[in-house]
Structure 1
Amino acid sequence: MRVHSSTLLLFGATGDLSRRMLLPSLYALYADGLIQPNLRIFGTARSPLTDDGFRDMARAALCEFLPEDRKAEGLIDAFLQRLHYVALDASNPDGFVELADTIGDISGGLSIFLSTAPSLFEATIKGLHNAGLSGENVRIGLEKPLGNDLASSCHINDAVNAVFPEKRTFRIDHYLGKETVQNLMALRFANMLFEPLWNANAIEHVQITVSETVGLEGRAGFYDDTGALRDMVQNHMLQLLALIAMEPPASLDATAIRDEKVKVLRALRPVVEGDVVTGKYAEGAVQGDAVQSYESDLGKASDTETFVAIKAYVDNWRWQGVPFFLRTGKRLPERRSEIVIQFKPVPHNVFRDRGGKLDANTLIIRLQPEEYVRLLVMAKEPGLDRGGVTLREVPLDLSLTAAFAGSRRRIAYERLLLDLIEGDQTLFVRRDEVEAQWTWIDAIRALWNATALKPKTYGAGSWGPNAAIALTERDGVSWHE
């Protein structure tokens, strides 16, 4: 049963995530009548703002980041009156008492969105608890990064779970809030067409690509300490892999879904030498613009990877022997997140004697920037066929944007904030999932250290180092580009 909180508390309320995503998402939920009329929203950060100062900042953020068709002056004014602000230094325990006093009555439930530096997690959790902001009707949402390896992640989770039990802890991976990601479930489990073929008998390989055109974008310190493997693969890409490879859950219950995902993550085979490639972008051109190398952007020498490609295997009955190729990087030719399911060819080409050549079917699930599902199938070209049968690959397209043109498109944080306020954990990551992800990632980093693997340079605007191409070609596979 969902129980709505009557109060929402945003940590990091003046930061970039809040301005770009959280405040516009909350306004959209308010404008559509999806949050309770009595919901109070408090923001906190180090900045010494008043309520009015915070509202001015929020107004500027809404004007900058809301689509034009969402801007309604009267609604914006009414929404801003819900906002309150308390300046807080999370490292100072005394500040939490003032925070609790300002928030006041939380008998109607409190939801907390915690986006802060990992070094402040323990102090923040302790401060909330000592100030009485951690009772049975309080739930907490945790924005990444939650550690940089298994040990640090366990340390943070231990600190959180000492105050907030798992049933009141919501670990956020914003990819899980994307509409197309959720459509993976509908595609697999609502269509008889796919599920009987969703296994090693019919699928040759799977590709997952998350590519970015940007470089450091103001995240130099964080990124150089993290790298592509921990920034993208450990969370977003492994969650996508789990959704693709999971067994059908008994229901859409949060526990049932997350039980099936963790089974996949625990079944990941340890990566061996030769099945992982790392890279670091050099100078080049991205979409026609000249860009500097990673080290020039960073301002110092570095062995941090900005690209990683991995051949992974899920060692279970359904997926035995099927490679999952993962690829992510910065300064690549285009921004793209997609999943490619490559089916095996038909066992016998009945058109061969008439000159007909066949390509195996491919299913492409594009998550961004467009949202669509495309199935590539073989069809016969029109004609009398006196010179032979000509077969051609043609797409069957489902554009989610076009198919649901009358429905409002939601950004991920709208759904995730609403689920946090309502207490629905389905799209949030459970602790055992996180620990299974880190166990696999830590083993890869240990392999790098043991083999002294260093990132290979690749020109900005390319699809990564040549070794990434060789990674797939050894299996007779080409990256979908």
Structure 2
Amino acid sequence: MVSRVIPVDPFDLVIFGGTGDLARRKILPGLFRRFCAGQMPEEARIIGAARSDMDDAAYRKLIADAIKEFGNGFTFEAATLNAFLERIGYVAVDATGTDGWAELAGRMRDGTVRAFYFSVGPSLFGDLAERLHTHGLATDQSRIVVEKPFGRDLQSARALNATLAEHFREDQIYRIDHYLGKETVQNLMAVRFGNVLFEPLWNAQYVDHIQITVAETVGVGGRGGYYDKSGAMRDMVQNHLMQLLCLIAMEPPSKFEPDEVRDEKLKVIRALEPIEPHHIVRGQYSAGGDQPSYRDHAENPRSNTESFIALRAHISNWRWAGTPFYLRTGKRLKARTSEIAVVFKDAPHSIFGVDAGRHRNVLAIRLQPNEGMTLDVTIKEPGPGGMRLIDVPLDMTFADALGDEAEEVTDAYERLIMDVIRGNQTLFMRGDEVEAAWAWTDPLIEGWKQRGDVPKPYDPGTAGPDDSMMLMHRDGRRWRELKT
């Protein structure tokens, strides 16, 4: 099996914040991989834009060093890297002033796709959008890419959307969430809607519950200042986990087109019931061994910001009535893993006695590490001694199933940036999606403030606070074990 790489049209991509961490770690190494794969046309040009004063040669060296440092073992020849660097330039630009904009405009070409990646803080989105139009850089076919956070509450999200809408149409705005670019996330839609085996079972009649877990072993580290104003609810649940919930729960769209997919996701968000206080657990990691506590990282000894969230959600529609969705995410947990687990109900009648009740079919979709899927099925344990049941996974780990082609599974940023150039918004959030997610999240955060809730402490290297275990145990269920 040989994967097909379809080149995109010629483009000019301007990366505002082109010297920043995201550009060096993800965006430019990802673009280099697409260049090596033959997806970037000869006429493509990439321009870094930031406040730092440097020329093209200095910027190319910075990017070459970043590709070598953050390439994750990706091998390439020096000549290939040099050919890629020839397509890269740099312009020093003042995002809130006038310096550099005339030079940047002079580098733009007519007749090519123009994309502007806002790899900067949201406070600069409006300034950049305004100056792109003031200096004639934006055309009717231009696209802008904006990074999260998309506001910190419903009011600020609406204001941000309104600011961008002053200068760009909704079909020109690409709100990027790298989780949606992961290979397994897209395979989730293929499994659901491309196989008659699953879709008839994908409802409350057959599904007992669904677990969505995004666990990290690292703490907030150098992001303590930002994170302390955000917390796990704003940083992870409102966007990443919400998007995964939408994809697992949405109705089949009429076709695989951007607005059709996003319409169905929006219906899920709007069908979410308000969460009762006893159905949500907040936690904050303590110090452990020689590792600092969350409050040490945040440099705030009285911080009540959560580094862990676990909650039980319900969707009020015919497909999912009565089926709980358990979401959890946290820092400094025992394993780094992102997983969606669809836990099916027991067979309505067992001929094997009480032993059968300990076995269930589970479809586990692993987003990281080792992207892939497993389906637990119950079989007879081999050997004599009677009918003893065991669970065996049908495993589709990409590295095993695809062999050498597993190396061709693209990074999320690679795929999403190429989708921007193609003009495909399917894997990007629409403005009304973002606002609906905040409308559901805001009352939870406000409720904590009004009640004076304090996060539960938990030890690093565990599965989170004990109360999160009780959240499941009260329902006669348990979290899946965190595994690397």
Q: Same fold (TM over 0.5)?
A: yes
Q: Determine the structure 2 residue equivalent to 1:294.
A: 294
Contact 2:91 2:100 in 1 (8 A): no
- Letter of the aligned partner of 2:466 in structure 1? N
CA–CA distance in structure 2, aligned partners of residues 304 and 9 of structure 1: 36
CA–CA distance in structure 2, aligned partners of residues 357 and 461 of structure 1: 31
Unaligned runs of 5+ in 2: 1-6
Task: Identify the match of residue 221 of structure 1 among 216, 225, 231.
Answer: 225
Question: Is 2:179 the partner of 1:180?
Answer: no
Give the 5 Å matches for 1:27-42.
Answer: 27-42=32-47
Q: Determine the structure 2 residue equivalent to 1:443.
A: 443
CA–CA distance in structure 1, aligned partners of residues 247 and 71 of structure 2: 30
Q: Determine the structure 2 residue equivalent to 1:416.
A: 416
Contact 1:42 1:85 in 2 (8 A): yes
Tell me whether 259-268 or 61-70 shows the greater mean CA deviation: 61-70
Shift of 1:52: 0.6
Q: Determine the structure 1 residue equivalent to 2:282.
A: 278
Shift of 1:5: 5.0
Shift of 1:13: 0.7
- Letter of the aligned partner of 1:442 in structure 2? D
Task: Identify the match of residue 191 of structure 1 among 190, 195, 200.
Answer: 195
- Letter of the aligned partner of 2:400 in structure 1? A
Shift of 1:269: 0.6
Contact 2:23 2:119 in 1 (8 A): no
Task: Identify the match of residue 261 of structure 1 among 261, 265, 288.
Answer: 265
CA–CA distance in structure 2, aligned partners of residues 214 and 106 of structure 1: 45
Shift of 1:147: 1.0
CA–CA distance in structure 2, aligned partners of residues 171 and 56 of structure 1: 29
Give the 5 Å matches for 1:325-340.
Answer: 325-340=326-341
Shift of 1:69: 4.3
- Letter of the aligned partner of 1:262 in structure 2? L
Shift of 1:313: 0.7
Task: Identify the match of residue 232 of structure 1 among 231, 236, 244.
Answer: 236
- Letter of the aligned partner of 2:284 in structure 1? K
| Shift in CA distance, 142/470, structure 1 to aligned 2, threshold 3 Å | same
Q: Determine the structure 2 residue equivalent to 1:118.
A: 122
Shift of 1:89: 2.0
Give the 5 Å matches for 1:62-101.
Answer: 62-101=67-106
Q: Determine the structure 1 residue equivalent to 2:342.
A: 341
CA–CA distance in structure 2, aligned partners of residues 358 and 343 of structure 1: 12
Specify the SS of the correspondent of 2:333. Answer: coil
CA deviations on 1:383-433 (whole Å, 9 max, x unpaired) are 344xx4211112111112211123212100110111111211111111111
Task: Identify the match of residue 172 of structure 2 among 153, 162, 168.
Answer: 168
Contact 1:3 1:423 in 2 (8 A): no
Contact 1:356 1:389 in 2 (8 A): no
Aligned alpha-carbon RMSD (Å): 1.6
CA–CA distance in structure 2, aligned partners of residues 23 and 70 of structure 1: 15
- Letter of the aligned partner of 1:336 in structure 2? T
CA–CA distance in structure 2, aligned partners of residues 327 and 435 of structure 1: 22
- Letter of the aligned partner of 1:14 in structure 2? T
CA–CA distance in structure 2, aligned partners of residues 99 and 56 of structure 1: 20
TM-score of the pair, normalised by structure 2:
0.95
Contact 1:338 1:364 in 2 (8 A): yes
Question: Is 2:144 the partner of 1:140?
Answer: yes
Question: Is 2:399 the partner of 1:401?
Answer: yes
- Letter of the aligned partner of 1:255 in structure 2? D
Shift of 1:104: 3.4
Q: Determine the structure 1 residue equivalent to 2:466.
A: 466
Q: Determine the structure 1 residue equivalent to 2:18.
A: 13
CA deviations on 1:290-321 (whole Å, 9 max, x unpaired) are 41101112222211111111111111100001
Specify the SS of the correspondent of 1:295. Answer: helix
- Letter of the aligned partner of 2:381 in structure 1? E
Q: Determine the structure 1 residue equivalent to 2:311.
A: 310
Contact 2:93 2:99 in 1 (8 A): no
Contact 1:25 1:413 in 2 (8 A): yes
Tell me whether 295-304 or 269-278 shows the greater mean CA deviation: 295-304
Contact 1:170 1:429 in 2 (8 A): yes
CA–CA distance in structure 1, aligned partners of residues 153 and 55 of structure 2: 38
Task: Identify the match of residue 158 of structure 1 among 158, 162, 186.
Answer: 162
CA deviations on 1:346-368 (whole Å, 9 max, x unpaired) are 11111118x66541211111110
CA deviations on 1:117-172 (whole Å, 9 max, x unpaired) are 12212111111111112220211111111211111111111111111101111110
TM-score of the pair, normalised by structure 1:
0.95
Question: Is 2:478 the partner of 1:478?
Answer: yes
Question: Is 2:327 the partner of 1:322?
Answer: no
CA–CA distance in structure 2, aligned partners of residues 217 and 74 of structure 1: 37
Shift of 1:274: 0.6
Specify the SS of the correspondent of 1:406. Answer: helix
| Shift in CA distance, 98/357, structure 1 to aligned 2, threshold 3 Å | closer
Give the 5 Å matches for 1:364-375.
Answer: 364-375=364-375
CA–CA distance in structure 1, aligned partners of residues 20 and 470 of structure 2: 41
Contact 1:93 1:123 in 2 (8 A): no
CA–CA distance in structure 1, aligned partners of residues 202 and 241 of structure 2: 19
Count of residues in Structure 1 that have an aligned counterpart in Structure 2: 472
